Amino acid sequence: MLTRFLLIGKVQIGLAIIGLFTLTAILGPWFSRNVLEMTPQQVDYLHLNGGPPDSTHWLGTTSQGQDVLSWMLYGTRTSMLVGFASAVIGTFLTIVIGAWAGFAGGLIDRFLNGTILVFGNFPTFALLFIVAAAFQNANWVLVSIVIGGIEWAGGARQIRAQTMSLRGRDFTTALRTVGESRARIILVEVMPHLLGVISPMFLGLIAAGVNQQAALAFLGIGNPSEPSWGLMINWAMTQNALFRGLWWWFIPPGLALCLIGFATTMVNFGLDEITNPTLSSKRMKLMRIFLRDKARPASPTRQKEMATR
Amino acid sequence: MTLTTVPKNLETESEIIERLENSSTLLDVRGLCVDYVTEAGNIRACDDINLTLKRGEILGVAGESASGKSTLLNALGRLQRMPAATSAGEIRFHPTDGTESLDLAALTEDELRPYRWTKISVVMQSAMASLNPVIRLGEQFTDVIRTHDPRLTQEQARDQAADLLTMVGISADRLTAFPFQLSGGMQQRALIALSLACDPDLVLMDEPTTAVDVVMQRQILDQVLAAQERLGFAVVFVTHDLSLLLEISDRIAIMYGGKIVEIGTAARLHDSAKHPYTRALRRAFPPLSEPVRRLSGISGSPPDLLDLPPGCAFAPRCESAMAICHQRVPELRDVPDGRSACFLSNGELSESELTQQLPATSNPGPSSRPAEGGDHQ
Amino acid sequence: MTEPAPIDALGSAASTQRPAEASDDGPTSGRRRPTARSSRLAGLVYLRQRLTMYLIVAFASVLVNFILPRFMPGDPATQMIRDITNRTGAPPSGYQTRMIKARYGDPERPVLLQFWDYISRLVQGDLGQSSQYYPIPVTELIGRALPWTLYLAIVSTILGWMIGTYLGARLGWRPGRRLDAILTPVSMFFSSIPAFWLGLLIVWYLAYSNGWFPNQGAYNNSLEIDFSDPDFYLSALYHGALPLVTLIIVGFARWLFSMRNMMITTVNEDYVQLARAKGLPENRIRNRYAARNALLPNFTGLAQSMGGALTAVILAETVFIYPGIGSLLTGAQAARDYPVMQGVMLMVIFASLLFNFIADSVYVLLDPRTREVT
């Protein structure tokens, strides 16, 4: 299941995009300091009013003479950190609560399932906004915790359903009669079966985290000393980049957000093609080729047929 | 449980043969191939199918799952869904109204549309899935009636629909019901009534009784046969249940691994099946009217269509298999009262070749064959 | 791989398309052929369950709103009283002070009593007064802004839904054709664009650079809000055009995908095959037999998405400086105006829940299996 998932072209494109950003997040700030020899805070007094991309500032400068590329490289780190941290937290909650509810059954399941439903019905962003806004200058750790703590419900439902079906199967029943502990059965025996569900879920949570953080930062929530894509767009907007036409300031961070979103859409489409083979675009293509190849030799008889009628 | 046999069987075998010989051809299938297009490669689910159907004939098609029988039926009705596609062959249809014959496989969807339901209709396996759950039963009748006869008013179409329902024993006031409000048996009968709405020449039936219980199955079959006798349409009836076919069919085609391996009158297949696979199927499905005896399944599993053996597809499971069966594909050849694709009976090998082959097998093939063939005589 | 969802006659994909909760305890699950009577009851029981759920969620969000300020760093109540004093030149009255403390924490009063004060005011529709525009009540500020936001949210969602659903039905009917091969990836990319960023690009290019459209406001400020004045409508349309276009571009794709995939699945259903076998005209098969059934999940999705649409509108309004609750919210956030922030967010949550409940009711109405009585 997992290997089939990874073999789909769309999934590979999605993974490649996320991988590329992860790499940038790891190496970007180092590159900025040592190769570009710039940091986001550093001001270039020759470009105080914001200049278009040139050989020193590859992506131009902001209205305060700060290097946009340097901002992007550092911003990628914050954005991806929030994405990964919130995804780890969210996935952890998803697995623990989902698997626990599915495996325990009875009262515990009813309670946990109720919790899952309540969280699943919250308008996520509204809740996120009030909670994050309550803490002034919330840093990335806090933002990640809040995002991860709110975004787990959808996945937990799936895990719960999966675990419930696994619980009924012979091998788990056998293990329970042998006297294996519940935690061990969940971790060692059930979890591997759930990897196919969990991995795309994790990818989805990364992108959701990145986007939620960007939206929050865009609204001015978060720590202004942590450069992020959302913060860049917020500053560009509040400092009249639109009026002054400093497009190089707000286009790169938005494009990065688009790419992250695009990556998840690709992964989800790939996932759909596995669970519902009629959606497989590969099959559609094969079918088209088959019909076309078949049509060619058949056409003379077709024409004869038409002529006789 | 004792069930009466269908009156149909009162007709003797020779009478059936005579009737079929005297009626003209309705459907002539030549070299029909159907492929499933998959990532792993194309799977040929129907391979070089040849058969002829006479007007008013009931042709049974039997075989295990994945033998290609439903695929064949869908190809005949041009109802394939992705990833199945007809890759070769001709389906020549001779309408009973005397209009010129046409090749169903070659028509475009638009050209085919006027012939659908008026000439060929279908009854699918699951009535619940075949009736649209959110459209009232009546509309599902009247829309097809009025599409093919636009002169009819809504009321006239509705009256026709009511007649059809009454014919299968469903009260006409159910026309306003949604399909989910009918029982499973009623849905299936409604589907059969629907298939007769435009007085077709041919009704394709894909296991129409599999989803209902035995009593309902009998009732539905009786209704189908009664309607068939009255209206005279031909039927291609696909099922895995050979004993059911033996009761209702004029002729039966046995499919295995995407090929027809034997075809013949019901009586001939009942009494002296030529192909070992047919005999194996017979033993797996005893007729209800016969005394209880020990059943035997067919050992082994259906062939993998992606990886067919080089010779006869049934050879690996066949107890009479000879060396040549594993090397060469036997042809479907004429035998008395039908056709067979087994080297032992199709006359493809000369008498001397056959005796040459026989000692090579470990199974006592030749001795067991007549014994089995005469089993029920 | 997917959860073992109930397979109803809508086909398996219905379960993937229907919102998560519904496939678990949806009105038709587990009852393959309900009798008319029980199906009617099933619909009502389902709606009652959903309503209970929404009430719990609503209560939980009120609770969050109440608890949060008490965990906030510093003392928000004192801070707010100071803010108001600075802004108006006089401290708020004793009663007002008590209400502020009830909302944002009062070390001298038992928490339960504070909560009681809070809830009883809320039930009377009192969300407090803005600290930024003291003493204007929050409800009045929201009341002024809400119509504009609802206008954007509803119009953009419905238009986006119609465009996406129509295109999706077209593409899903014949998947893999050229139109599908072009439109599907393109809309995949559109759906990945953050609304606020696309808004930024559009405002920059069409309003600031070229001046073809206004760069802020909901109508021409020289006009009065006058619903009998055609100029007012024209001006409102003109000012609303860019936000609407932005929201539609970002929003239509999800409907396109869900309709396309649902349609592909439905086209393979037996009942569509049977309709084809019946030789019905192609557009009747497509519209009446396939699209009608494929539409069900998209229909419920429509109402369900309104909550999410409000979020997108809030973000987009900020870019277009459009006087809806989004701008109200960002203004409040900048001025640390808690009453307004909380009021707006509570309102958004309640609105989302209301729309969700409408969606559930529509589902029960649309699917005869849960409604029909004979």
Minimum mean pLDDT range among C27-31, C201-205, C311-315: C27-31
Q: Express as a percent the part of chain B with pLDDT over 70.
A: 90
Is pTM beyond 0.80? Reply is no
Q: Express as a percent the part of chain A with pLDDT over 90.
A: 9
Taking the CA of residue A302 and the nearest CA in chain B, the distance in Å comes to: 6
| Residue in A242, A275, A287 nearest the CB of C208 | A242
Residue C316 lies in a domain: yes
| Residue in A134, A242, A281 nearest the CB of C68 | A134
* Pairwise CA distance, residues A110 & A164, whole Å: 13
Inform me whether the pLDDT recorded for C7 exceeds 60: no
Report the amino acid identity of residue A210.
Answer: V
Residue C94 lies in a domain: no
Inform me whether the pLDDT recorded for B366 exceeds 70: no
Inform me whether the pLDDT recorded for B161 exceeds 90: yes
Find the residue in C nearest to B128 (Cα).
C9
- C-chain CB neighbours of A235 within 8 Å are none
| pLDDT digit string, tens, across residues A266-295 | 888 887 777 777 777 777 788 778 877 765
Inform me whether the pLDDT recorded for B177 exceeds 80: yes
Whether residue A209 contacts residue A151, with contact meaning beta carbons closer than 8 Å, is answered with yes
Inform me whether the pLDDT recorded for B248 exceeds 50: yes
A-B interface: how many C-beta pairs under 8 angstroms? Answer: 36
Find the residue in C nearest to A137 (Cα).
C73
- A-chain CB neighbours of B102 within 8 Å are 305, 309
Domain range for C228 is: 144-336
Query: In 3-state terms, what secondary structure has residue B367?
Result: helix
| Residue in B79, B135, B178 nearest the CB of C276 | B79
Range C2-27 average pLDDT:
35
- A-chain CB neighbours of C54 within 8 Å are 121
Taking the CA of residue B116 and the nearest CA in chain C, the distance in Å comes to: 5
Chain centroid to CA A279: 22
**Average pLDDT of chain C?**
78
| pLDDT digit string, tens, across residues B40-90 | 778 888 888 999 999 999 999 998 887 888 899 999 999 888 788 888 889
Chain centroid to CA B99: 26
Find the residue in A nearest to B100 (Cα).
A309
- C-beta atoms of C271 and B132 within 8 A: yes
Residue B214: what pLDDT?
83
- A-chain CB neighbours of C334 within 8 Å are 220
Closest CA to C329 of A253, A144, A215: A215
Residue B53: what pLDDT?
92
| More confident call, B298 vs B34 | B34
For the beta carbon of residue A50, count every other beta carbon within 10 angstroms.
Answer: 23
Tokens (6 digits) for C143: 């009341």
Tokens (6 digits) for C176: 């893999």
| pLDDT digit string, tens, across residues A186-229 | 777 777 777 777 887 888 888 888 988 898 888 888 788 888 88
* ipTM for the predicted complex: 0.83
| pLDDT digit string, tens, across residues A38-86 | 777 777 767 677 777 777 777 777 777 788 888 888 889 999 999 999 9
Whether residue A190 contacts residue A163, with contact meaning beta carbons closer than 8 Å, is answered with yes
CATH code for position C267: 1.10.3720.10
Interface of A with B (CB under 8 A): 278, 280, 282-284, 286-287, 290-291, 294, 298, 301-302, 305, 308-309
Closest CA to A82 of A138, A17, A19: A138
Range C300-306 average pLDDT:
76
- A267 and chain C: CB distance < 8 Å anywhere? no
Cα dist from B143 to B55, B201, C280, whole Å: 27, 20, 8
Inform me whether the pLDDT recorded for A124 exceeds 50: yes
Range A19-48 average pLDDT:
80
Question: What is the band of B144 on the pLDDT scale with cuts at 50, 70, 90?
Answer: very high
Range C303-315 average pLDDT:
79
- C-beta atoms of A133 and C341 within 8 A: yes
Count of structural domains within chain C? 1
Q: Residue for token digits 């939980």? A: C60
* Pairwise CA distance, residues C258 & A175, whole Å: 41
Residue A40: what pLDDT?
76
Q: H or E element: which one contains B42? A: strand B41-54
For chain B, the residue count is 377
Whether residue B287 contacts residue B246, with contact meaning beta carbons closer than 8 Å, is answered with yes
- C-beta atoms of C341 and A215 within 8 A: no
| Residue in C53, C73, C334 nearest the CB of A121 | C53
| Residue in A134, A157, A276 nearest the CB of C69 | A134
Taking the CA of residue B128 and the nearest CA in chain C, the distance in Å comes to: 8
Question: What is the band of B291 on the pLDDT scale with cuts at 50, 70, 90?
Answer: low
- C-beta atoms of A261 and C194 within 8 A: yes
Residue C323 lies in a domain: yes
Chain A contact partners (≥3 CB pairs within 8 A): B, C
Residue C270 lies in a domain: yes
Range C256-270 average pLDDT:
88
- C-beta atoms of A121 and C21 within 8 A: yes
Question: What is the band of A143 on the pLDDT scale with cuts at 50, 70, 90?
Answer: confident
Most A-contacting residue of C173, C183, C196 (CB-CB within 10 A), to test interface:
C196
B222 backbone dihedrals φ, ψ, rounded to 5°: -60, -40
B-C interface: how many C-beta pairs under 8 angstroms? Answer: 94
Residue C75 lies in a domain: no
Taking the CA of residue A168 and the nearest CA in chain B, the distance in Å comes to: 27
Alpha helices in C8-137 (DSSP H): 13-17, 20-25, 36-71, 76-88, 94-104, 111-123
Strands B41-54 and B25-38: antiparallel
Closest CA to A67 of A84, A77, A79, A53: A53
Beta-bridge partner residues of C193: none
- C-beta atoms of B106 and A302 within 8 A: yes
| More confident call, C219 vs B164 | B164
- C-beta atoms of C73 and A136 within 8 A: yes
Question: What is the band of C370 on the pLDDT scale with cuts at 50, 70, 90?
Answer: low
Residue C330 lies in a domain: yes
Inform me whether the pLDDT recorded for B287 exceeds 70: no
Residue A302: what pLDDT?
42
- C-beta atoms of A298 and B106 within 8 A: yes
Find the residue in B nearest to A299 (Cα).
B106
Residue B372: what pLDDT?
40
- C-beta atoms of A135 and C72 within 8 A: yes
Query: In 3-state terms, what secondary structure has residue B154?
Result: helix
| pLDDT digit string, tens, across residues C138-177 | 899 998 888 889 889 889 999 999 999 999 999 988 887 7
Query: In 3-state terms, what secondary structure has residue B6?
Result: coil
- C-beta atoms of B144 and C372 within 8 A: no
Interface of B with C (CB under 8 A): 77, 79, 81-82, 109, 112-118, 121-122, 124, 126, 128-135, 143-144, 147-148, 176-178, 180-181, 183-184
B199: left (phi over 0), alpha (psi -120 to 50) or beta: left
Chain C contact partners (≥3 CB pairs within 8 A): A, B
- C-beta atoms of B117 and C277 within 8 A: yes
**Average pLDDT of chain B?**
84
| pLDDT digit string, tens, across residues C72-96 | 666 677 777 777 777 777 777 777 7
Range A105-129 average pLDDT:
80
